[in-house]
Every structure is written in structure tokens, then in C-alpha cells.
Amino acid sequence: MNDDCQFDAVGHLRHFLTIDGLSRNLLVRIMDTAQSFASVTEQQVKKVPLLRGKTIVNLFFESSTRTRTTFELAAKRLSADVLNINIATSATSKGESLLDTIRNLEAMHVDMFVVRHAQSGAAHFIAHHVSPHISVINAGDGRHAHPTQAMLDLFTIRHVKGGFEQLTVAIVGDILHSRVARSEILALNTLGVAEVRVVGPRTLIPACAESLGVKVFHDLDKGLAGVDVIIMLRLQKERMSGAFLPSEHEYFARFGLTQERLARANPNALVMHPGPINRGVEIDSLVADGPNSVILQQVSHGIAVRMAVMSMAMRTGAKSPVGERA
């Protein structure tokens, strides 16, 4: 994929749009940098001056609470000035084009855009058209990518499991519409896990899913057998009206994660979820709140990982070695 636009002329990370094309070294360095920031967030004074004087724009064309909040906190802990723009109530609803919105914000001399958009490729498009000094971080584009979510999930896995080799990971649910799943699959395979599985009914598994580097299962019991990590995806209500599924009830019966089903996985298997969770639809409360669940750890790791990515893209983090491309 021609995602060399993620790197500047000397091969440093400039935009963070997708895991595709990133090297294992770079992913490890993001996690190492996040580790150093994790301690910052536990201090009494939770700020470091790395991005002092920089202006970061959270540009959300699609609503979000968790992702926007953790990006905002991450930016503030790096001492940047943060501007939150919710486009649903702003200019493009008045007919302004995406490019005009970007050009207008650029004219205000900002340094970074954190972009969430309902359409796949939006972050790439913006990255291709911003001035050379501006970085773009993809906070989720359509069904395509959500690379910071993938990195915080990997950070959480490494935090608990210590590494990635030997791990079998199952991603369960609506793979078709999931940008999180696509980014996680790329990241897990780049870091060399033993196997990535996707589990769901055929209506929610994308065409040629195997080409992503996964094994496909349509039976949750089989898909969970012997896995070390289970990532449950959120089921959107609109899947019922789109004839993807008959009912939440039937979905939970076949693909909901219960304690019984969890027992098929390895003991100490991690249970993860990018949130927000639908209790009783894709996951039972006993599992979501149980000892295997790291769902809330994922949220707190989100801040450290986003601090790492933002500081690296602004090149104020750890010294960048060469070889960030895959």
C-alpha cells in the first residue's frame, strides 16, 4: 500500500493513519514510549512539557466520547493547547467541503489534526492535502482503520502477557464494519502472534477475510478453543434493520461471551472490548466485570498510547531511529 505518506522525507513518522506499512520496530517503540508516559499519568502533577506551544485540533466528524476524551487528555498532559471541533454541529453541515474546512483550520496555524470521520480514507485524504508542518492522527475512519485503538489494545496485551509470540487471539463479532478489527489484525500479525482468528456469522465477516491474515470461524465455541486473548466487538443496533442479523437475542445466544464460553479459552485468557460495551448483547456482565476482563485498563492505557503517538509524530518523543517503514 502506498502509505509512505505516513513518513517524512527522512523516514520519520509524520502521520499516523494506519498500521499498514509500519515496522515491528516502530510498533514496539510506540509501546515503549507509551510505557514511559504511563508513569506520568500516575504522578500528582500529570503534565510533561513536550508539546508546549503546540495546537492540536480534535476534528470529529462523527460523535465519540471515549476516543475524543482520551485524545484531549493525552494532548493536555503533553502541555499542548487543544481545540475540540464537532463537525456535526459545524461548517460541513452548512455545505462547506472537507477540504475547505481543513484549509480554514490550517490558516489558524495549528500543528496537528486528530481526525474521526464516518468515511473510509478520510484521514488519508486530509493527510495528503495538509501543509508540510502539520501531522494527522487517524482517530477512526469509516470501516478502515483505528490505529491508536489497536496500539492501546496491543499495549494492554503486552502489559499483561509480556509479549506476543505464541499468542492466539480471537476477535469476535461484527468484523465487516469494524475499523478496530482491521487495525488490530495488522498490528497483531506485524508483532508476530501465533494466530489471529475472527469469529462471527457470515453476514458480518468481510469478503476474502483470509486475505487479512486471519482464520475464519462461524462457531464461537470452536473459535475460542485454546485462545489467549478474546477481543469482543460492539454490535451496532442498526445491524438488525440491515438484515445482517435477526435479533440481539439470537446474536447473544450464538456469539455472546458468557462464562461458559470463556471456559473454552485458555485459563487466564484476556477479555478485551474497545467499548462502549452492550451488556447482554455481545458480552455477559459477569464476564465484562470478571477477573479476565481488562476493559477498563484498556481505557487508561489509551491516554499513554495516544501521548506516545502524538509526541512521536511531532518528533519530540524518543530519538527516532531509521527503519520505521515495514
**Interface with other proteins includes 180 (CB under 8 A)?**
no
**Interface with other proteins includes 125 (CB under 8 A)?**
yes
Mind giving me the DSSP string for 244-258? S-S-HHHHHHHH-B-
**Interface with other proteins includes 131 (CB under 8 A)?**
no
In the complex, the smallest distance separating the C-beta of residue 207 from other proteins, rounded to whole angstroms, is 5
**Interface with other proteins includes 142 (CB under 8 A)?**
yes
Q: Site for other proteins (CB under 8 A): which residue of 85, 91, 212, 216? A: 212
Nearer to other proteins, 3 or 195 (CB): 3
Between CA 67 and CA 57 the distance in angstroms is 14
Nearer to other proteins, 183 or 293 (CB): 183
Nearer to other proteins, 20 or 32 (CB): 20
In 235-290, where does DSSP find H-type helix? 238-241, 248-255, 259-262, 285-288
* Terminal-to-terminal C-alpha distance of the chain: 11
**Interface with other proteins includes 117 (CB under 8 A)?**
yes
Question: Please, are residues 219 and 247 in contact by the beta-carbon 8 Å criterion?
Answer: no
Judged by DSSP in three states, 116 sits in strand
**Interface with other proteins includes 145 (CB under 8 A)?**
yes
CA 218 from centroid of its chain's CA atoms: 24
**Interface with other proteins includes 94 (CB under 8 A)?**
no
- Which of the following is catalytic: 146, 179, 234, 301? 146
237 carries an active-site annotation: no
Question: Please, are residues 67 and 139 in contact by the beta-carbon 8 Å criterion?
Answer: yes
**Interface with other proteins includes 64 (CB under 8 A)?**
no
User: Restricting to residues 226-255, which ones interact with other proteins according to CB under 8 A?
Assistant: none
67 carries an active-site annotation: yes
> DSSP E strands: which ranges in 179-253?
195-199, 215-217, 229-232
**Interface with other proteins includes 182 (CB under 8 A)?**
yes
**Interface with other proteins includes 98 (CB under 8 A)?**
yes
**Interface with other proteins includes 11 (CB under 8 A)?**
no
Q: Site for other proteins (CB under 8 A): which residue of 9, 107, 207, 322? A: 207
> H helices then E strands: how many in the chain?
12, 9
116 carries an active-site annotation: yes
Nearer to other proteins, 122 or 310 (CB): 122
- Name the one residue in this structure whose C-alpha cell is 479476565: 292
HSE-CB for 7 with a 13 A CA cutoff = 20
Between CA 69 and CA 75 the distance in angstroms is 10
**Interface with other proteins includes 97 (CB under 8 A)?**
yes
66 carries an active-site annotation: yes
> Which range touches other proteins (CB under 8 A), out of 103-111, 205-213, 225-233, 258-266?
205-213
User: Restricting to residues 31-60, which ones interact with other proteins according to CB under 8 A?
Assistant: none
325 carries an active-site annotation: no
- Name the one residue in this structure whose C-alpha cell is 518528533: 315
- Residues whose CB is less than 8 angstroms from the CB of residue 311 and which lie 6 or more positions away in sequence, other chains included: 33, 37, 50, 51, 78, 317
Instruction: Determine if the peptide bond prior to 276 is cis (ω within 30°).
Output: yes
**Interface with other proteins includes 208 (CB under 8 A)?**
yes
Contacts to other proteins by CB under 8 A: 1-3, 20, 97-99, 117, 119-122, 124-125, 129, 141-145, 179, 182, 206-209, 211-212
Active-site residue set: 66-67, 94, 116, 146
